[in-house]
Chains A and B, each alone.
Chain A
Amino acid sequence: MSSQAVLVIDGELYGFNSMRTGNNSPDSATNALQGVMDKCGMKLEDIHYVVGTGYGRVNVPFAHKAITEIACHARGANYMGGNGVRTILDMGGQDCKAIHCDEKGKVTNFLMNDKCAAGTGRGMEVISDLMQIPIAELGPRSFDVDVEPDAVSSVCVVFAKSEALGLLKAGYTKNKVIAAYCQAMAERVVSLLERINVEEGFFITGGIAKNPGVVKRIEKLLGIKAMETKIDSQIAGALGAALFGYTLMSKKAAAA
Chain B
Amino acid sequence: MIANYGYKDGSGEYYISIDTDKCIGCTAERACLTACPKQMFEIITDDYDDEVAWIKKPNCRTLAYDCADCKPSGGYSSLPCIAACTPGAIKHSW
Residue from the list A108, A114, A156 in contact with B2, Cβ < 8 A: A108
In contact, B10 and A113 (Cβ under 8 angstroms): no
With both beta carbons as reference points, the residue of chain B lying nearest to A191 in the complex is identified as: B8
Q: Quick check: is A106 within 8 A (CB to CB) of the other chain? A: yes
A68, A108, A113, A114: residue with the most chain B Cβ atoms closer than 10 Å: A113
Complex interface: chain A residues within 8 A of B41 (CB): none
Which residues of B have CB within 8 Å of A195?
4, 13, 15, 93
A66 to chain B, nearest CB (A): 10
Interface residues on B, range: 10 to 19
A111 within 8 A of B: yes
Is the C-beta of B65 less than 8 angstroms from some C-beta in chain A? no
Interface string of B1-39 (1 = CB under 8 A from A): 111111111100101000000000000000000000000
B2 contact set on A, CB distance < 8 A: 108-110, 196
**A155 within 8 Å of B by Cβ?**
yes
* Chain B residues with CB under 8 A of A111: 4-6, 15
Once A71-B47, A71-B48, A109-B2 are accepted as A-B contacts, the answer to whether A156 and B61 lie under 8 Å apart by CB is no
Q: Is the CB of B9 within 8 A of A110?
A: no
Chain B residues numbered 51-94 whose CB sits less than 8 Å from any CB in chain A = 60-61, 93
A108–B2 Cα distance when bound, in Å, is: 6
Contact (Cβ within 8 A) B3 A115: no
A192 contacts B by Cβ under 8 Å = yes
A71, B46: Cα distance in complex, Å? 10
CB proximity of A109 to chain B, nearest CB, Å: 4
Cβ contacts A to B, 28 pairs, < 8 Å:
A67-B47, A68-B47, A71-B48, A106-B1, A107-B47, A108-B1, A108-B2, A109-B1, A109-B2, A110-B2, A110-B3, A110-B4, A111-B4, A111-B5, A111-B6, A114-B7, A114-B60, A115-B8, A115-B9, A115-B60, A115-B61, A154-B10, A155-B9, A155-B10, A192-B8, A195-B13, A195-B15, A195-B93
List chain B positions with a Cβ less than 8 A from chain A.
1-10, 13, 15, 47-48, 60-61, 93
